[in-house]
Amino acid sequence: MRIGIIGGTGQLGSAMAIALLETRTVLPETLWIANRSGSLVPLDRWSEIRTTTAPSDLAEVCEVIVLAVPPDQARDLRLSAPNALILSVMAGVTLEDLSVIAGSQRVVRAMSSPAAAYRLAYSPWIAMAQLSDAEEALVSKLLGACGATDKVASEDHIDRFTALTGPVPGFVAAFAEAMILHATRRGIPGDIADRAIRQLFLSAGTMMSLDEKSPFSHVQEMIDYAGTTAAGLTALRNGPLNAAVDDALEAAYQRTKSI
């Protein structure tokens, strides 16, 4: 099976390509990349990949086509791929629009993130029409190579996750930035603060990913313990944090509707 990625050397497209190739979910000799330059960078260690500057050439030969171009380029993209399975990771581009772009009813809308390059992305998806069991399994396999994946119930959920999990490190980096600024304002050298907070987020993320307890349970346990952390967590819960995060995520979500 030949798989093509239009925009396959961009940040998201190349991250997904790296995941697919390094897990051998896709073999380099079966992968096509379409971009404006014709360059394989940053995928040039796989010399067997076919490249083209014409998306139509890719569409003629590939059974699965991944659309990973910036959403502002989507309006000018037109393919004739009625028999191909189309998988889009373009923010804000609806299933209906994707069907027009691709000339296909076998359209899947998803969202992933650059963390795919490390097999750490979260990639929810929804299909326009009822896919066969084999096609659903293929979509799950391709996105599963990039990290965790779920089939969701509505396109609105894709827009929500575009805001929640699409930007990596995104909102998590903003919280890390706030913690680093707290430390440096109180005399801790910047390089030490940076290293400490990076390690904190690595350890916290790893622990939460491996532990069955929810983040809410982790927070409540520390509050119930009534130690030094409890004072800070109680201040966060009683302060404006939740409202600020809600407002930020809602702003990002609304942008997906107008992008």
**Tens-place pLDDT, residues 201-230:** 999 999 999 999 999 999 999 999 999 999
pLDDT at 130: 77
Pair (20, 144) in one structural domain: yes
Helix intervals (H) in 92-211: 95-102, 133-144, 155-164, 170-185, 190-210
Q: How far is CA 125 from the centre of its chain?
A: 11
Are the C-beta atoms of residues 149 and 140 closer than 8 Å to each other? yes
CA-to-CA separations, 217 to 10, 204, 239, in angstroms, rounded:
38, 14, 19
38 located within any domain = yes
247 located within any domain = yes
Pair (67, 129) in one structural domain: yes
**254 has a pLDDT exceeding 80:** yes
Only one residue has tokens 């569409």, namely 59
> What does the alpha-carbon distance between residue 132 and residue 150 come to, in Å, rounded to a whole number?
16
Counting every residue written for the chain, the total comes to 259
Burial of 91 per CB tally in 10 Å (0-12, 13-18, 19+): buried
42 located within any domain = yes
Per-residue pLDDT tens digits for 175-186: 999 999 999 999
What mean pLDDT do residues 243-258 have?
A: 95
162 located within any domain = no
Q: How confident is the model at residue 129 (pLDDT cuts 50, 70, 90)?
A: confident
Of 144, 166, 19, 145, give the one whose Cα is nearest residue 90: 166
Q: How confident is the model at residue 75 (pLDDT cuts 50, 70, 90)?
A: confident
Pair (183, 243) in one structural domain: yes
State the residue range of the domain holding 208: 170-258
Q: How confident is the model at residue 259 (pLDDT cuts 50, 70, 90)?
A: confident
214 located within any domain = yes
Q: How confident is the model at residue 132 (pLDDT cuts 50, 70, 90)?
A: very high
Q: Which two tokens stand for residue 19?
A: 């995941």
> What does the alpha-carbon distance between residue 66 and residue 90 come to, in Å, rounded to a whole number?
10
> What does the alpha-carbon distance between residue 204 and residue 193 come to, in Å, rounded to a whole number?
16
Please state the pTM of the whole predicted model: 0.93
**8 has a pLDDT exceeding 90:** yes
What mean pLDDT do residues 8-12 have?
A: 98
Are the C-beta atoms of residues 158 and 110 closer than 8 Å to each other? yes
What mean pLDDT do residues 140-160 have?
A: 98
Pair (147, 174) in one structural domain: no
Pair (247, 186) in one structural domain: yes
